[in-house]
Amino acid sequence: MACPPPPPQFVLRGAQSAVNTLHFSCSNKADGPPLLFSGSLSGLVHVWNLQTRRVDATLDGHAGQSVYWVKTLGDQHLLLSQGRDLKLCLWDLAEGRNAPVDSLSLDSVGFCKGSVLSEGTQGSWLLAVPGKGMDEVRVLDMPSKTSVCTLKPAAGAKAGMPMCLELWQPACGPCPLLLVGYEDGSLMLWNVAERRALSRLSCHQEPVMSLGFDPRKAKGLSGSSEKALRVWSLDEQQNLKVCRTQELTNPGIADIAIRPDGKIVATAGWDHRIRLFGWKQLKPLAVLDYHSAAVHCVAFSDAGRPSEQLLASGSKDQRISVWSVYNQP
């Protein structure tokens, strides 16, 4: 690399606890300033205003238990947060409100983040969360909270707990699909409507910590506590197969994010570093070394002009670093 990687554009301080998860909400400029949501170990969700770089609001709805997933729904005002208190809260943040409007009890005590698929009709959306049984995944129709199905691997599969989920709507088929990474290191593709597993792929020796999937390229990648990233793809018959393995210097990938424009991928490393890869060939691009503790999460901003695309990472060192990288058109 010709020049050293840049420093973060800025760093957000004040979470006062390890940052577990991040989510950008920048798309509707008219509605307000670009926001970044963060969930922390202390159970708070912080709403960061990216214009002033300060906390706009702090949401306290998980009784001090670690929040490990936040996500906005459609517009900026609806926010989902999932915490270790076995609750999934729905917040309506319009007009500065900061109390949960609804919540859903969860049954799993794991760390598996949920996944959401907005269907766009009458504001209903699908939610996948770990289920009651050890290896189950529940899919619910929200906001009615009616259960759509429970997906359980075959009895002899010994997949272990689900570790990460990715729900998506394929362009060709009508029914939503769900990717699940399991404790035993395998990935399974489920057809939600038919409630059956379409394909299974053993790709890691260790539990799958995170996965990212790009429906347009029908390609995804996953990381575990090993020293390798695995890239796999989905063929027309909906079979998963490994296409590439990227070795890493240090083990442990906590989170993976693919930029919305499908050009680069970022990983959050236990080695305090963020790694950037080109998504096409998984070419290593940069190692961003800023944090002084394990990086827990990475996120890309959701839209806007190419030059305004941001990358954020949250770390155990209680800081959120925001980067402006590889965004010259």
Partner 1 sequence: MAVFDSPQEAFGILRPICVQLTKTQTVENVESLQSKLHVVSDSALQDLQEYILFPLRFTLKTPGTKRESLVQSVVECITFVLSTTCIKKEDLLQELFSELCLCLSSPNSQKPAPVSEELKLAVVQGLHTLMHSAYGDIILSLYQPCTLPHLGFAISLLLTLVEQEKSKQIKTSALKCLQVLLLQCDCQDHPKLLDDIETKKLGDLFASFLPGISTTLTRIITGDFKQGHVIIISALKIFYKTIAFIMADEQLARIPKDKEKFSVEHRVAELMVHRDANWVKNTGDKLAALIEKIVEFISVHPHWKARMELIELVQDLLLKCRQSLLKSVGHLLKVLVGLVNDENLDVQNRCNNVLKNFADQRIVVESRVLTDILSENLHSLATALPRLMSSQDDQGKYSTLILLLGYLKLLGPKVNFILHSVAHLHRLSKALIQVLELDVTDVKIVEERRQGPDGLAESSSSLSEPPFHKSKSQRKYFRFFTDERIFLLLRQICQMLGYYGDLYLLVDHFMELYNESVIYRKQAAMILNELIAGASGIEVEVLHETHSRASTEELKEIITSILEEYISQKNWYLVTSNEAEGNREELTMKHSDLQAITSGVHTCHLVPLPSSSELNLTVCSMNSNIWQICIQLEGIGCFAHALGIEFRVLLMSALYPVLEKAGDKTLLISQVATSTMIDICHACAYDCPRDLINHNADYLVNEISLNLHQMALFPHTPIVLEIMFQNSDATLLPLVDDVIQDVLLSLDQFHDERAASFLSVLHTVLAALARWFPEAKGDKQLQEQEFRKEKYGLHQDSATLGKGFAFTTSPEEIERFLLDYLRNKDVADGNVSDSDKEVVPCFPEEQPLTPEAEMNDVCPDVEATLPVQIQIAKNVMERCIHLLSDKDLKTRLKVLDVLELCVTVLQSHENQLLPMVHRAWLPLVHRLTNDDPLAVLRAFKVLCTLGNKCGDFLRNRFSKDILPKLAGSLVTQAPVSARAGPVYSHTLAFKLQLAVLQGLGSLCNKLDLGGGDLNKVADACLIYLSAKQPMKLQEAARSVFLHLMKVDPDLTWFILNELHCPLLYEPPHPSLHPVSLSGMAKSRTEYTDNVLLLLAELQG
Report the interface residues with partner 1, using CB under 8 A.
Answer: 7-8, 10-11, 13-14, 16, 51-54, 290, 292, 318-319
Q: How far is the CB of 8 from partner 1 (least distance, A)?
A: 7
Cα distances (angstroms) measured from residue 245 to each of 19, 26, 211, 282: 29, 33, 14, 9
With residues binned 3-state (H G I as helix, E B as strand, rest as coil), the percentages for the chain, rounded to 5, are 5, 50, 45
Which is nearer to partner 1, 18 or 187 (by Cβ)? Answer: 18
Q: How far is the CB of 95 from partner 1 (least distance, A)?
A: 22
The residue type of 9 is Q
Element (H, E) at 162: strand 162-168
Round to whole Å and give the CA distance between 176 and 110. 24
Which is nearer to partner 1, 16 or 249 (by Cβ)? Answer: 16
Q: How far is the CB of 9 from partner 1 (least distance, A)?
A: 9
Q: How far is the CB of 290 from partner 1 (least distance, A)?
A: 7
From 81, 54, 47, select the one nearest 65 (Cα to Cα).
81
Q: How far is the CB of 11 from partner 1 (least distance, A)?
A: 5
| Alpha helices (runs of H) in the chain, residue ranges in sequence order | none
- In the three-class reduction of DSSP (H, G, I as helix; E, B as strand; rest coil), residue 95 is classed as helix
Q: How far is the CB of 167 from partner 1 (least distance, A)?
A: 36
The residue type of 69 is W
Which is nearer to partner 1, 47 or 140 (by Cβ)? Answer: 47
Query: Mind giving me the DSSP string for 255-316?
Result: EEEE-TTSSEEEEEETTSEEEEEETTT--EEEEEE--SS-EEEEEE---S-GGG--EEEEET
Which is nearer to partner 1, 182 or 323 (by Cβ)? Answer: 323
Round to whole Å and give the CA distance between 195 and 115. 17
Q: How far is the CB of 51 from partner 1 (least distance, A)?
A: 7
Which is nearer to partner 1, 34 or 83 (by Cβ)? Answer: 34
For residue 80, what are its two tokens? 């989902």
Which is nearer to partner 1, 22 or 221 (by Cβ)? Answer: 22
Which is nearer to partner 1, 16 or 202 (by Cβ)? Answer: 16
